[in-house]
Structure formats: structure tokens, C-alpha cells
Amino acid sequence: MGLIEAALALRDEVEAIRFAPPVAYVYDPLEYAWAPHREYLERYGRGPREVVLLGMNPGPFGMAQTGVPCGDVGMVRDWLGIEAPVGRPAHEHPRRPVQGFACPRGEVSGRRLWGWARARFGAPDRFFDRFFVANYCPLSFMEASGRNLTPDKLPRPERERLFAACDRALRAGVAELRPAHVVGIGRFAADRAATALAGSGVAHPLGTILSVAMVLEHSLGLPGEADGVRQAVAATIQEGVLTPDCGGQHGTADVVSRVVERIECAPFQDNATPAL
């Protein structure tokens, strides 16, 4: 199954889910912003890829506007070269309008991610030779006030059904792109990738962290920081803080937390860190 077919299947699955309070509004860019999303997949989603960077779900001024993961309007239009018609959700919060590529606000995380990619690789094709960016969940959730609600805060019945659909879509995407590593951007995405891809060898928490070390050294030019991350992973393994598939008895969150603790205590070389 290709990425377009997987996205369409996911769109159909999540459309059938009904969300109870505190969810009051649900935006699905795979529905109303399908044109730019499809263009993104067609242009940049042909595998294989070395690394998949996995985010949580659409931000209100990112993918919710452009249909592209981490989709800051300026970066999507001016660097990725994508601009296509965007409709509107059937049920739209008056304080969170979808304006598509006319949206005057930017998404900070999207600017940082794509800004780093532009600074490091220059042209989009050079970045996408190695990387692909995706979101685990395609939906954006809001309370009646317009406050953002993340997928992990959903009521359990809806959350479990949604996560099952997203897991299937992620596995289909990984089968198509055949990455060596899936790197979750944030703990939620890392945890979901580890669950959905258990046994595949591409999303183990320590493997994900070591992928970050690779990005630090080879993409950001920070070998000292990369060595510190590797040392923290090695110390965590030696301590026996491991997930069951590696012979341990700890959960993913425990393993990640222990590595983070060791990283925070590690002395790094005094390298200048580029802004993302």
C-alpha cells in the first residue's frame, strides 16, 4: 500500500469515529486540505528513506491550514513549493478558522523544522533523499473554548479506536518507505511509534535516541553532543534499564526518562548550537 492509499484509508477510518466531550471540534486536513497533502506525498513521499521524523498531530497554524505535516505556511509555499486549494471543516470553531495558504500566522515548530532542513540541505530534494516528515494522527481536536486538545487526552474508548487506525497507517507508511529509523518528535510520538512498530527494529526507544545522535553529528555538526547521547544510552543499557523485548522490565517512558537524566548530567563539548 502506497502513502496515498494509506492516507485515504486512514481518512475513511477516522471519519467514522465520534468523539465525546471534552472534544467539541475535530479538524481533518486529510479531508478539507487533501489537495496539498496529496501533492506533498506525490512529490516527496517516494521511498526508500533513511529516517522518518514523526510528529504528534496537526497544529492549528500548521498542517491544519496547509495539509502538510509541521506545515508552516511560508515554509510549505516558499521552500517546499506546495500551494493548493484548501477547503474548510464542516464544523469550524469561530476562533480557529481555516484560511489555508492565506493564514497570516505561522507555526513555530514548523518554521524550526523546515528552517533547519533548508539551512542544512539547501534544496528540498536533498533533504527528502534521506528524510520524510509525517504526523502520527491526522486530526486536530479542540474544546468548546477553542483550546487545543492533544490525542493522548481523549476519552479512552475514542483514543483506543483512533490509535488503532493510526498504528495501521504508520505501519503501512513504514512498509512503503522502509526507513532504518523512525524518530518520534516528542515523547508521545516516540511512544506511539514504539508501540505500533514493536518488533520491527526501527522504533525501539534506544534506537530512536541513537537516531537523534546521528542527526546531531551528521546534520547539525555537533559531535560532542552526539557522543554524550551515545554515552547516556550505553550507561542506561549497562544499568539494565531496558524494555521487555531487550530482556528488561521497564516501560518505554522509563527508559527514555533514564537516558534523559543521564544526558542532562553529562558534560558536553562547548559547541555552538545552531538555532532550529
Q: Is 3 left (phi over 0), alpha (psi -120 to 50) or beta?
A: alpha
Choose among 177, 181, 176: nearest CA to 200.
181
Please give the pLDDT value at position 276: 34
How many CB atoms are closer than 10 A to CB 131?
A: 19
Map grid coordinates 553529562 to a residue: 266
Please give the pLDDT value at position 102: 97
- Residues with Cβ < 8 Å from 167, sequence gap 6 or more? 192, 195, 196
Element (DSSP H or E) covering residue 182: strand 181-184
Outline which parts of the chain fall under CATH 3.40.470.10: 3-203
C-alpha cell at 216: 546531531
Please give the pLDDT value at position 83: 97
Please give the pLDDT value at position 238: 83
What is the rounded distance in angstroms from the CA atom of residue 261 to the CA atom of residue 259? 5
Residue 177 and residue 48 in contact, taking contact as beta carbons nearer than 8 Å: yes
CATH superfamily, with its number, for domain 3-203:
Uracil-DNA glycosylase-like domain (3.40.470.10)
Please give the pLDDT value at position 274: 34
Please give the pLDDT value at position 64: 98
Please give the pLDDT value at position 273: 35
Please give the pLDDT value at position 202: 66
Which residues are registered as beta bridge partners of 182?
52
Please give the pLDDT value at position 44: 97
Instruction: Please give the average pLDDT of every successive group of 10 residues along the chain, which has 276 residues.
Output: 94 96 97 98 92 92 97 97 97 96 93 90 95 97 96 94 97 93 82 83 70 70 84 87 74 83 69 36
Choose among 177, 171, 221: nearest CA to 193.
171
